[in-house]
Structure 1
Amino acid sequence: MKLNFLYPNMQKDIDLVEKELKRALTGAAAETTSDAALHLLEAGGKRIRPMFVCLSARLSPDADFEAVKNAGVAIELIHMASIVHDDVVDDADLRRGRETIKSKWGNHIAMYTGDFLFAKSLEYMTEIKDVAAHKMLSHVTVELSTGEIEQLKDKYNFDQSVRNYLRRIKRKTALLIAASCGLGGVVSGQSEADYKKLYRFGYYVGMAFQITDDVLDFVGTEKELGKPAGEDLSQGNVTLPVFFAMEDPFLKKRISQVTEDTQAEEIAVLVEEIKKSGAKKAEDVATAYLKKAVATLDSLPQVPELKPLKQIVRVLDKRNY
Structure 2
Amino acid sequence: MAAVESALFEHATSPSPYVTEAARHLLSAGGKRFRPLLVLLAAEAGPHADASEVLTAACVVEITHVGSLYHDDVMDEAALRRGADSANSRWDNHVAILTGDWLFAKSSELTAQLGPDAVRIQAETFTRLVEGQILEGVVPEGDPLQHYLAVVAGKTGSLIATSARYGARFGGASREVEGALTAYGEIVGSAFQLSDDILDIASDSEESGKTPGTDLREGVPTLPVLMAQASTDPADARLLELLAGDLTDDARHAEALALLRVHPALAQARAYVVDQAQRAKALLEVLPAGSVRQALEDFADVVALRTA
Please give the TM-score of this superposition, normalised by the length of structure 2: 0.91
Letter in 2 for 1:175: S
Preserved contact between residue 64 and residue 187 of structure 1 (Cα < 8 Å): no
Which one of the candidate residues 27, 37, 40 is aligned to 1:51? 37
Quick one: distance in 2 between partners of 1:112 and 1:58? Answer: 36
| Offset, 1:239 | 0.9
Is residue 2:272 matched to residue 1:289?
no
Q: Say yes or no: does 1:118 pair with 2:114.
A: no
Kindly indicate whether the alpha-carbon contact (under 8 Å) linking 2:11 and 2:106 is maintained by their aligned counterparts in 1. yes
Amino acid in the other structure paired with 1:62: H
Residues 1-321 of structure 1 aligned to structure 2 (within 5 Å): 14-26=1-13, 28-129=14-115, 131=117, 133-154=118-139, 161-222=144-205, 227-246=210-229, 247=231, 248-258=236-246, 262-277=248-263, 278-321=265-308
TM-superposed deviation, 1:59: 1.3
Query: Which is further off, 107-116 or 92-101?
Result: 92-101
- Is the Cα–Cα contact under 8 Å of residues 37 and 58 in structure 2 kept in the other structure? yes
Give the 3-state SS of the residue equivalent to 2:211 in structure 1: coil
Which deviates further from its counterpart, 279-288 or 220-229? 220-229
Q: What is the CA-CA distance between 1:271 and the residue it aligns to?
A: 2.0
**Contact 1:147/1:171 (<8 A) preserved:** yes
After superposition, what is the alpha-carbon deviation per residue over 1:260-302, rounded to whole angstroms, capped at 9, x for unaligned? xx32442232222222213221111100100001100113344
Q: Take 1:130 and 1:308, find their aligned partners in 2: how far apart are those partners? A: 30
Question: Quick check: 1:33–1:109 contact (8 Å CA) kept in 2?
Answer: no
Residues 258 and 30 (structure 1 numbering): CA distance in 2 closer, same or farther, change over 3 Å? Answer: farther
In structure 1, distance between residues paired with 2:217 and 2:244: 11
Following the alignment from structure 2 to structure 1, what is the Cα–Cα distance between the partners of residues 282 and 181? 11
Find the aligned partners of 1:139 and 1:159 in 2 and give their Cα distance: 25
Q: Aligned in 2, Cα 1:175/1:24: closer, same or farther, shift over 3 Å?
A: same
Distance 1:32 1:272 in 2: 46
Q: CA deviation at 1:108?
A: 1.1
d(CA) in 2 for partners of 1:30, 1:266: 48
Post-superposition shift, 1:64? 4.9
CA distance in 2, matches of 1:99, 1:138: 30
* 1:20-69 alpha-carbon deviations (Å, 9 max, x no partner): 1011112x244332212212111111101001101111111234521001
Counterpart residue type for residue 246 of structure 2: V
- Matches of 1:58 and 1:144, distance apart in 2: 26
Q: Supply the AA of the counterpart residue of 1:267.
A: H
Q: Could you tell me which amino acid in structure 2 is paired with residue 173 of structure 1?
A: T
Once residues 250 and 27 of structure 2 are traced to their aligned partners in structure 1, the CA distance between those partners, rounded to angstroms, is: 30
Unaligned runs of 5+ in 2: none
Deviations 1:159-212 (A, max 9, x none): 952100100000011111111001111112222221011000111111211110
CA distance in 1 between partners of 2:142 and 2:162 (Å)? 31
Q: Provide the rounded CA distance (Å) in 1 between the counterparts of 2:177 and 2:206.
A: 40
CA distance in 2, matches of 1:226, 1:153: 30
State the AA in 1 paired with 2:103. L
Distance in 2, matches of 1:312 and 1:252, equals 35
Q: 2:138 corresponds to which letter in structure 1?
A: K
Q: Distance in 2 between matches of 1:36 and 1:204?
A: 33
Structure 1 unaligned spans of 5+: 1-13
User: Relative to structure 1, is the Cα distance of residues 163 and 21 closer, same or farther in structure 2, using a 3 angstrom cutoff?
Assistant: same
Q: Deviations over 1:95-153 (max 9, x none)?
A: 1122111111121111111111111101110110261x333221111011011111122
* 8 Å Cα contact 1:182/1:195 also seen in 2: yes
The 3 A distance-change label for structure 1 pair 44 and 158 is farther
Alignment match, 1:10: none
State the distance in 2 between where 1:265 and 1:307 align.
46
CA–CA separation in structure 1 for the residues paired with 2:211 and 2:94: 25
Identity of aligned residues (%): 34
CA 1:312–1:103 in structure 2 vs 1: closer, same or farther (change >3 Å)?
same
**Residue correspondences, number:** 302
